[in-house]
Structure 1
């Protein structure tokens, strides 16, 4: 299928052929039309067109993160990660309409006409995969063109709801672009009197035609407003887009005592305190298109709110379409341009240059699509990037292309003695982009294509945590050797099934515990190889807080930081000591505010050789301080590794030190080389590590020490 993409390095718009997305919890829709959001999408394009310095000035918070990465990871690693992010094309669009072609939801059937919403979902593409709560049926009598406005209409609808207006009240709308003109019509449908405000005379005329009682530019505005209402506007809705604070200043003068100002557009917010203080007026910043926005449970998992949360984003979408059906909203007057998908660059050129007046700009899709409609896209390998690999080299297929895979794993693949077969991801964009970048033969949105490929004999799984176990089991039974990112599993039953599949299939399985493969770790292990005493180890992780809404905290998808991250550090202790963990005692800070229950903890493990190891994991520290420090004490000797850039070894008063200035040595290249060469992994150790994280979780919950018994999972 074809999709519109933004090149984040150059700012250019491209139409690329990518695989049709896979359906998960919602539907796959064949788009008929999608609406370009001139304000939101133009701002992203303008940012992409800036130089690196310009991007840095526009995004100072991102620069701060990069500088922190320089401190912990080294300048080379930080630069590579930043460039990797910029090299990934950005999907555009968040409002579309079309026909359901595949469904995984009881709410929709194949053939349903639907309107779709959401950045990353209702994108400018021939086919889109949309969760059920971001998808609504189109009423009879409403066409696809009109329905493509539903998301933007819901933004206007939510702004009006935040104004809390009622029949007969006087409302000012500042900014008569697309959302402003929709707001005018929604307010009139609600029985309000409306004054529309803009500096463009053509928009003022159109607002009057669409029902505004009074229209005005800023000249003589307050006299006209007083003629409409002597005591001021009951509410002011700002839908303008400008860095200037002039709209919020004007709103303060227009609104009545104890009135309400609702900010929908991206405007300057230098609020004149004296004006708002005298009127005791309220300012509300309207958040997108209703409750549910930015809530992963609602948007991704389809968990609806009770009806007392009356106007969720989906209900706003339905209400907007009903107003369109009743002819209370005229969208025909707002559609100024329609471009075929292949001419999307021309549509954005029109918007960015302003060479013609525009309001609503639509992209139109050919019936049954003009691009390929399959889940597999073959990729030609450019001659300059043709790789030389040994004749007997294995062929690798990869599943997943998240941030970790793209920053730490896939950049290493072109240098490995392995053929790159297929890459599977849930979205066509990431599949095509990453596969093309690293030289895979094809990309797909159906991971079973990888497992069914007879040429592929090894599979790498780098998806979200909850998919590791089921995909690894499928791959083992498909006769593939498996490299799976940590954690190996997020619950004990899944771990038991993995052990069973590995034993029955006879295939190799390696878990991505990369730190044991670091050259610094190898040297530390060798340093303590002939120790005469048990070891005492302390692994301290100054992780920094991960936002509560991140998927890693989701019990279903991530399992929390204890399951997702602590396994690394326990495995490292196993590697250095050469011993298995047999017991764990763990304690955690109780959750409060944004702190998650399993994000700040200490776990002390006893190993079968008498060694003791403590993992201290915290999100409460300063990110400028080293992230990982591991210390080992045994046989009158000490070893320390800091951020896998600095190794210090001491014995009998003599010290040696190694430091890496440009980048960390975390063992990613070494672990992948071991896998593709077919080296036998420490599977029993991988299982013991995973069990230890489950036991630590149980210890926190019960307050008691927990035994670690691999026999529980059949090992």
Structure 2
């Protein structure tokens, strides 16, 4: 299918062929008829992308600080990869559209194929022929609705939420500062509500348009005597509220609002303006209120609402983002507001780059710019075959590596290292969005890209699958790939529940009976780090005492990583790394665990102490802290055995004591072993004797994290051997057909 994208590296806007989005639970698949370009937001994005690297840095100082932090921790190589990954990616544009439902995912009610809908959401309602949108970001429209007007859906909801924040009453007066598209929509709905509207802008053309359509009176916002004019129009009272829909770096709009308001009036900031207002004389003496309006309304940025479809009870939250969208569409369809004058330009999708040139060059006046789509097009192919890459001399026929998932970690640590291995060809890549699939396929030279994992699993040229998706899908894809006889590399964790672990063990052990048994590898890279290998060599074999301090840093409670269903939490999702390194160093498995977590009002359980006892008599402590100083290195490991002490600092420094004079080694770049891990695994799949992690070690690390959670629950030590831990909140989500026979719901 066709989709409009840009690259942040140079800001070039182009229409490219990408795989269509795959329908997933809770989503609605929609064929777009129209989408609206948000000239302010999208124009700013494209303008920033077309600046030089220095210009980009000035636009985004916070991201510059993040880059410097990566450089400090990981060195220049990983910093360069991280920056180029962001700059070279095809980025989707658009977040407001309208069209016809093609298909409805499971757990979605109220929508059917053929329904007309309006859609919202960055990353969802893009400028693309087909979009996949969460149900709460879709609004069902009446038959015969004008989809060209319905495409104003997102901006209409944003404007309406700003009005709700102003909390105005019939007969009151509101000043709207900024009469672009958002200001015009705000004025239209205010007038329809019986509010007297005064519009202000520095552009005389939009002032004239507002005076004729959405404002009772409109003025140049830099005209002298505005305070007196507003006072006269309001019988000496002043405006009851000011809604700022402008976008500027100037403090003029917010200070002007203070001048125009009555005592105890309200300023609502909808646009992108600074809020460092002058306290005197207006804000303080008038006791004014300043409110921020959060996008479309309550539910925005809440994954439980938008992604999982959990609604807010109407008795507690009257106007959610979805209810705002429905209210806006009702106003449009009933004719109580007339949007027809707002659309000044229409472009076919293929002509879309010209629309952005118009916005940036401003060689014509514009307000609403719509993109039109071919509504009668056939459903596009889910797989796109790329131009064949230049063949490598060491590339064998029929031995291909494919990826399911290719997010930030895969782009930085897996894909570059896989591509550098001898004797491999890159077959296919599947990611959650068509733009990311296309980006990865082009950058690394895959033969095809797709949005459906079946294209990889059924590809005869693929004999190895790398899985780098979100944690909740790891087990499912591992099982499917093993059942197809593919070698499997899965990013940590292996799975999220004991049921998934049991299913994987059964399928893996059955697969080992085949003549060409597939390998299974989890991305526990730290055991491949060069300094970790040298530490093990220096320590030798035998019981040891280990102390591993991890300054992990905080992750917000609403992150998918902290979500038990999606990420499994940080214990299952990350602590498995540190357990595996201890297993590697001791050459033994944990047999019991005791864990205690620091009291945390967010209940994230990500600051905790874990004590491990190993079968060979070794003992280990993992101190995992999310509340430490950022300036402190992330990982610090001390190991004691038979008069020898090893100290490993963040995989850059190693000290060995007890063998004569202390030995010290320091690397220029941090090396956590990702490159060597990939090289060893690929060599093993080629039958060249690569060193892979024993399956028993993989299970031991996985089981230990389950035991940590059980210990926290019971507040007691837990024996790991034969551990049975149940997670009811996840069991219902795991496909029953993939469980071992004795664990299926229909078994006796």
Q: Same fold (TM over 0.5)?
A: yes
Question: 1:548, CA displacement in angstroms?
Answer: 2.3
1:436 corresponds to which residue?
442
In the TM superposition, what is the alpha-carbon distance from 1:285 to its structure 2 partner?
1.1
State the shift of 1:76 in Å: 2.4
Matched with 1:633 is 640
Question: What CA distance in whole angstroms lies between the structure 1 residues aligned with 2:474 and 2:294?
Answer: 35
Is 1:284 aligned to residue 291 of structure 2?
yes
Match of 1:225 in 2: 230
Cα distance in 2 between the residues matched to 1:390 and 1:342: 38
Q: Match of 2:508, SS?
A: helix
| Partners of 2:398 and 2:460 within 8 A in 1 | no
Of residues 644-653 and 20-29 in structure 1, the stretch that sits farther from structure 2 once superposed is: 644-653
Structure 2 match to 1:7 = 7
What CA distance in whole angstroms lies between the structure 2 residues aligned with 1:393 and 1:450?
Answer: 14
Q: Is the 8 A contact 2:243 2:270 kept in 1?
A: yes
TM-superposed CA distance for 1:369, in Å, is: 4.0
Q: Distance in 2 between matches of 1:492 and 1:388?
A: 44
Deviation string 1:570-627 (CA, Å, 9 cap, x unpaired) is 00000011001100111111213xx553210111110101001111111111222111
- 2:733 equivalent in structure 1: none
Q: How does 1:16-35 map to 2 (within 5 A)?
A: 16-24=16-24, 25-35=26-36
8 Å CA contact retained: 2:541, 2:586: no
Q: What residue number does 1:349 align with?
A: 357
Q: 2:310 aligns with which of 288, 303, 308?
A: 303
For 2:504, what is the secondary structure of its paired residue?
A: helix
SS at 1:457 equivalent: strand
Q: Tell me, in whole angstroms, the C-alpha distance in 2 between the residues paired with 1:574 and 1:159.
A: 56
Q: How does 1:477-492 map to 2 (within 5 A)?
A: 477-492=483-498
With 100-109 and 573-582 compared, the bigger mean Cα shift is at 100-109
Preserved CA contact (<8 Å) 1:31 1:125: yes
Partner of 2:736: none
- Structure-2 separation of matches of 1:294 and 1:689: 34
Change (3 A) 1:387 1:642: farther
Q: Distance in 2 between matches of 1:121 and 1:636?
A: 59
How far apart, CA to CA, are the structure 2 residues paired with 1:546 and 1:382?
40
1:457 aligns with 2:456: no
CA distance in 1, matches of 2:208, 2:366: 14
1:519 to 518, 524, 530: 530
Please show how residues 527-546 of structure 1 align to structure 2 within 5 Å. 527-531=538-542, 534-546=543-555
| 1:31 aligned counterpart, secondary structure | strand
Question: Does the Cα contact within 8 Å between 2:645 and 2:658 map onto a contact in 1?
Answer: yes
Partner of 2:696: 684
**Alignment gaps of 5+ in structure 1:** none
Q: What corresponds to 1:258 in structure 2? A: 264
Give the aligned partner of residue 381 of structure 1.
388
Q: CA deviation at 1:654?
A: 2.0
Shift of 1:290: 0.3
Give deviations 1:319-361, integer Å, cap 9, x for gaps. Answer: 0000001112211100000111111110000001110000001
The answer to whether the 8 A contact 2:654-2:666 is kept is: yes
Residue 373 of structure 2 is matched in structure 1 by: 365
Q: Is the 8 A contact 2:179 2:206 kept in 1?
A: yes
> 1:400-439 to 2 correspondence within 5 Å?
400-416=405-421, 417-439=423-445
In the alignment, does 2:114 pair up with 1:107?
Answer: no
Matches within 5 A, 1:465-504: 465-504=471-510
Partners of 1:658 and 1:293 in 2: CA distance: 50
Q: How far does residue 221 in structure 1 lie from its aligned partner after superposition?
A: 2.2
**Deviations 1:108-141, CA, capped at 9 Å, x for gaps:** 1111111110000001111111011101112234
The answer to whether the aligner puts 1:556 opposite 2:568 as a matched pair is: no
Asked if structure 1 preserves the Cα contact closer than 8 Å seen for 2:170 and 2:194, the reply is: yes
SS of 2:595's equivalent in the other structure is strand
Conservation of the 8 A alpha-carbon contact between 1:637 and 1:650: yes
Offset at residue 222 of structure 1 (A): 2.4
Does the 8 Å contact 2:32/2:131 carry over to 1? yes
2:184–2:214 CA contact under 8 A, matched in 1? no
2:732 maps to what in 1? none
Aligned partner of residue 654 in structure 1, secondary structure: coil
Rounded to whole Å, the distance in 2 between the matches of 1:610 and 1:106 is 56
SS in 1 for 2:81: helix
Please tell me whether the aligned partners of residues 584 and 707 of structure 1 are also in contact (alpha carbons under 8 angstroms).
Answer: yes
Q: Deviations over 1:214-243 (max 9, x none)?
A: 111132422321222020011111111111
Q: TM-score, normalised by structure 2?
A: 0.92
Query: What CA distance in whole angstroms lies between the structure 2 residues aligned with 1:538 and 1:66?
Result: 30
Q: Distance between the aligned counterparts of 2:16 and 2:94, measured in 1? A: 15
Distance 2:319 2:394 in 1: 58
Q: Does 1:312 pair with 2:320?
A: yes
Which residue of structure 1 lines up, in the alignment, with residue 665 of structure 2?
Answer: 658
SS at the partner of 1:195?
strand
**For 2:273, what is the secondary structure of its paired residue?**
coil
Residue 189 (structure 1) shift: 1.0
* Paired residues of 1:590 and 1:597 also in contact (CA < 8 A): no
**SS of 1:380's equivalent?**
coil
Say if 2:176 is the partner of 1:173. Answer: yes
What is the aligned-residue RMSD (CA, Å)? 1.6
1:381 deviation in Å?
3.0
Flag the 1:195–1:419 CA change in 2: closer, same or farther, 3 A. same
Residues 1:702 and 2:714 are matched in the alignment = yes
How far, CA to CA, are the matches of 1:141 and 1:454 in structure 2?
47
How many Å apart are 1:97 and its aligned residue? 0.7
> C-alpha displacement at 1:541, in angstroms?
0.9
Give the CA deviation at 1:529. 2.2
Q: Is the partner of 1:270 in helix, strand or coil?
A: coil
CA distance in 2 between counterparts of 1:473 and 1:361 reads 47
For 1:573, the equivalent position in structure 2 comes to 582
Matching residue within 675, 681, 689 for 1:675: 681
Q: Secondary structure of the residue that 1:302 maps to in structure 2?
A: coil
Shift of 1:488: 0.6
Deviation at 1:698, TM superposition (A): 1.1
CA distance in 1, matches of 2:694, 2:355: 55
User: Aligned residue for 2:618?
Assistant: 611
TM-score of the aligned structures, taking structure 1 as reference length: 0.96
- Mark the CA change 1:164 to 1:633 in structure 2 (over 3 Å): closer, same or farther: same
Count the aligned residue pairs. 706
How much does 1:392 deviate? Answer: 6.2
Deviates more, 1:70-79 or 1:4-13: 70-79
Answer whether contact 1:2 1:15 (CA < 8 A) is retained.
Answer: yes
Deviation at 1:653, TM superposition (A): 3.5
User: For residues 49-83 of structure 1, what are the alpha-carbon distances to aligned partners after superposition, in whole Å with 9 as ceiling and x for unaligned?
Assistant: 22222222222221222222222212222222122
Secondary structure of the corresponding residue to residue 633 of structure 2: coil
Provide Cα deviations, 1:657-682, integer angstroms capped at 9, x if missing partner. 22111x22211122222222224531
Structure 2 residue ranges without an equivalent (≥5) = 513-517, 726-739, 741-748
1:241 corresponding residue in structure 2: 247
Aligned to 1:397: 402
Is 1:116 aligned to residue 122 of structure 2?
no
1:154 is aligned to 157
